[in-house]
Structure 1
Amino acid sequence: MPVRLLAHALMIAACLFSGILALATPSYAQLTLRVGPGSQFQPMPIAVADFAGEGDLGQRVSGIITGNLQRSGYFAPLDKSRFPERPSFDAMPRFDAWKMAGAQALVTGRVTRDSSGRLKAEFRLWDVASGQQLTGQQYVTDPNFWRRVGHIISDAVYTKITGVGGFFDTRIVFVDESGPKENRRKRLAIMDQDGANMRFLTQGDTLVVTPRYSPATQDITYMSQVEGQQPRVQVINLETGSRQVVGNFPDMTSSPRFSPDGQRIAMSLQQGGNANIFLMDLGSRSTTRVTSTAAIDTSPSFSPDGREIVFESDRGGQQQIYAMNADGSNQRRISFGDGSYSQPAWSPRGDYIAFTKRRAGGFSIGIMKPDGSGERILTEGFHNESPTWAPNGQYIMFFRDPGGQAGGKLYMVDITGRVELPVATPSFASDPTWSPLLSETR
């Protein structure tokens, strides 16, 4: 159990998560950056001062925060050479000097150990123009969690200024690819969203594709195939390492995706020359067929409330996106643009559906509203596929293959289409899936 802290005059709320205790200070001012679709924002200049205390650990934590905010595309951290002072955590910053340096916001902090040896990290976010504190918190945790503390502070700063939920305290599961393109070794790998702490979940002795993170638990479902056998949907628990095959179907199963509560999996089951969508209850292992066509229905994705499913089907002659109630009723086509549509993924916020679109020899990543209206292309290229949402519904990660022998790499783009950048992986990568916030999983 985490060590409890005594609240003092500045601390008004407490929350407990994943071994980290946070105590929050009141907020006074309102410095905002609007980053919705159609926004013409400029990245906000922000200064993240080196955190004091505990050797170089404070500097490492502040480095995590700086890197996260810069990578979001919404902030422009000032270079330390422009800092007018090394602010003390317990004193008011020299706001006029920080304003002259070009900062609109300032983050200060301190990292120490309490009497039990646990790590205590504190931060304050300041509005430079008004000279007021926007928010501040302190966290007490095991010293091994120092990187997560940096991510959680990043989320608090990001959310306070943008009004959008955080996404830094997350992980990415993806397919790591090595070797020549004609004989790639594919392994499931997991890493923090900033590329740290990567490890392999499979050893490359089976073919693995389409991993999908549970929105509610630390479970991953994916398709696995042993040479000479039918592909099977599997589930791996990241905390225990336990693995299980989902169902014992005589034909190929593919494209698994969890329901929002993590209790069901929607998947595609091939039967002869066609495929249909089935739901499986993970507790009882009972299955329910929800589409029944002579076409190929695949890539199901639940709405955040679990009441609807979006999927792709070629029932009209080419791949298009369809939606239906979770019981299979009210099936209707929602994509009507030029080209073919595939790999739909419903945003965690429920406001958009991401998709892959193929037309004129290229592949695009785009979004549309759940009724198919408001289609917008976010990025285009030779080969872009496999969109997956950040838990805040503000960013989409995908993989891009430039063609030739090079192999794919991961990228992320925000829903405005103005922020696009590569995601660091040690080698070629494909099929990313984004975790929920780690503090919100069970």
Structure 2
Amino acid sequence: MHTHKKLLTTLLVSAASLLVAPNLSAAPVVLELDYEIPVQQNQVAFVPFAGDSVLSPIILNDLNNTELNVTSKDLPQQPRSSSELTGTLPVWQQLGIPYLVVGSTRSDRGKVITDYEVIEVKSGRVIGGKQSLSADTDQSSMRYAGHVIADKVYELITGTPGDFSGRIAYVEETGRGRDKISRLKVMDADGENAKTITEVNGSIFSPAWSPDGNRIAYTVQREQSYPIIYVQNVNGGGANVITPYKGSNLSPSFSPDGSKILFSSSFEGSANIYEISANGGNLRKIIDWPSSEVQPSYAPDGKSFIFVSDRAGFNKPSIYRYEFGSGRTSQVSRGGYATSPQFSSDGSQIAFLSGRSAAIMNTNGAVTANIGNTGIDEAPSFSPNGKRVVYASTQGGKGVLTIKSLEGGKAFGKSAQGIIRSPVWSSNPN
């Protein structure tokens, strides 16, 4: 078992290097520095919950896909609560792992109750007190409960809400031409539990989540038909047409309160930006330049939106910002080919496509991260807490959906039979 080890360093500092009077003797100065070197790389020890075989693997997998280093191996004990650490805390402190997660599950009136604690090992303090969660016993509810617990554990340790209980929508395409089938799918944030929401003979473009995570707006284009925007409840029910206009109706974006949708349409000539009720109706034109304006995306505070325009010249698209209060527009991206913008949930970052490379910039237009060529001309989508992104690519002729940490560099992928397009991460449901 590795522990911290002491290092005693003696530094001989020549008096000649010190500011001393010239007539004083130049005796060496001895400094003794006594400090600890941590040799343990793991940040979290996770003890599988007592009485559980379903939740613990989900929680462990979620946490391991973040910048945290988590281990459940070679632990000295298997406590189920902080009270069982009485008298044995020094054993855990010698491990050099800062945090310990323990818990247990029990049945109560047809529900599964999970009690768990996040313990700061150095002090023995339970961060945030004991946590409890009740869930139904079906597989879907248990999976969701595991993600919710992982969210809370991550938040207690880092101070930032986790992003595991949000879901990812994406489009899967098979076939070509008249035989193309497009499926709008939704999966959990760990790449599992994928379900088909709708299937069409044709193309599906740019799905967008409502803020509450219950609805998705998307565009469908069938053969010899205009692209039309639909809104659909992800938990069942039919899809409602909200843009019955004879033009290319594309790139829906929900307002932060879920009541309105921005989109672009060419039904009056060149592509303009419009706002409409999320139920359809109350159409309002917002951007009406002679050039083409597309791909609008609301800012999280609802006071502005970003969009793409080629007003600077043909094949020179740039990202602009429109402010609702003043009606003022300003250019955000700095030169080059910039498209497909999307805000992070806190409004401080914008994911976009720089040429054919996925990238991230701040709101002043300075590029802060380059994710590289994804193989498909699409930008990444931020996770709810802004620390991860999801993007589509192609590898070996197959579509791959990749989730990548922006902090720890970790990434994992999920492949499909066809091409994957337009993955977008929902906010965590309330």
- When normalised by structure 2's length, the TM-score is 0.83
Query: What residue ranges of structure 1 are gaps of 5+ in the alignment?
Result: 1-41
Structure 1 residues 121 and 399: alpha-carbon distance in aligned structure 2, compared to 1, 3 A threshold: same
Equivalent residue letter for 2:79: P
Structure 1 residues 208 and 329: alpha-carbon distance in aligned structure 2, compared to 1, 3 A threshold: same
Q: For the residues of structure 2 that align with 1:308 and 1:109, how far apart are their CA atoms? A: 44
1:160 counterpart = 2:156: yes
1:71 counterpart = 2:62: no
Q: For the residues of structure 1 that align with 2:180 and 2:98, how far apart are their CA atoms? A: 48
Once the two structures are TM-superposed, the CA of residue 188 in structure 1 deviates from its matched residue by 0.6
Alignment check: 8 A CA contact 1:378 1:415 kept: no
Structure 1 residues 45 and 179: alpha-carbon distance in aligned structure 2, compared to 1, 3 A threshold: farther
Structure 1 residues 43 and 103: alpha-carbon distance in aligned structure 2, compared to 1, 3 A threshold: closer
Aligned residues between the structures: 382
Partner of residue 110, structure 2: 117
1:260 counterpart = 2:291: no
Once the two structures are TM-superposed, the CA of residue 246 in structure 1 deviates from its matched residue by 0.9
Equivalent residue letter for 1:364: S
Q: For the residues of structure 2 that align with 1:312 and 1:284, how far apart are their CA atoms? A: 24
Once the two structures are TM-superposed, the CA of residue 400 in structure 1 deviates from its matched residue by 2.2
Partner of residue 421, structure 2: 430
Q: For the residues of structure 2 that align with 1:276 and 1:430, how far apart are their CA atoms? A: 24
Partner of residue 410, structure 1: 401
Equivalent residue of 2:78, what SS?
A: coil
Partner of residue 333, structure 2: 335
Once the two structures are TM-superposed, the CA of residue 328 in structure 1 deviates from its matched residue by 8.2
Partner of residue 305, structure 1: 301
Equivalent residue letter for 1:156: K
Equivalent residue letter for 2:211: P
Alignment check: 8 A CA contact 2:44 2:98 kept: yes
Partner of residue 11, structure 1: none
Whose relative contact order is higher, 1 or 2, with alpha carbons under 8 Å and at least 6 apart? 1
> Which of 316, 320, 323 is the equivalent residue of 1:322?
320
Structure 1 residues 68 and 279: alpha-carbon distance in aligned structure 2, compared to 1, 3 A threshold: same
Partner of residue 219, structure 2: 223
Q: For the residues of structure 1 that align with 2:245 and 2:90, how far apart are their CA atoms? A: 69
Partner of residue 375, structure 1: 367
Q: Which has the larger radius of gyration?
A: 2
Where in structure 1 do 4 or more consecutive aligned residues deviate above 4 Å?
Answer: 179-184
Partner of residue 389, structure 1: 382
Q: For the residues of structure 2 that align with 1:382 and 1:88, how far apart are their CA atoms? A: 44
Alignment check: 8 A CA contact 2:206 2:219 kept: yes
Equivalent residue of 2:287, what SS?
A: coil
Alignment check: 8 A CA contact 2:178 2:223 kept: no
Structure 1 residues 280 and 349: alpha-carbon distance in aligned structure 2, compared to 1, 3 A threshold: same
Q: For the residues of structure 1 that align with 2:328 and 2:351, how far apart are their CA atoms? A: 21
Percent identity, aligned pairs only, is: 29
Structure 1 residues 223 and 138: alpha-carbon distance in aligned structure 2, compared to 1, 3 A threshold: same
Q: For the residues of structure 2 that align with 1:367 and 1:309, how far apart are their CA atoms? A: 17
Once the two structures are TM-superposed, the CA of residue 154 in structure 1 deviates from its matched residue by 0.7
1:88 counterpart = 2:86: no
Q: For the residues of structure 1 that align with 2:267 and 2:142, how far apart are their CA atoms? A: 50
1:194 counterpart = 2:184: no
Note the alpha carbon deviations across 1:109-129, whole angstroms, 9 max, x for none: 111111x22111110111122
Structure 1 residues 205 and 382: alpha-carbon distance in aligned structure 2, compared to 1, 3 A threshold: closer
Alignment check: 8 A CA contact 2:47 2:72 kept: no
Q: For the residues of structure 2 that align with 1:120 and 1:421, how far apart are their CA atoms? A: 32
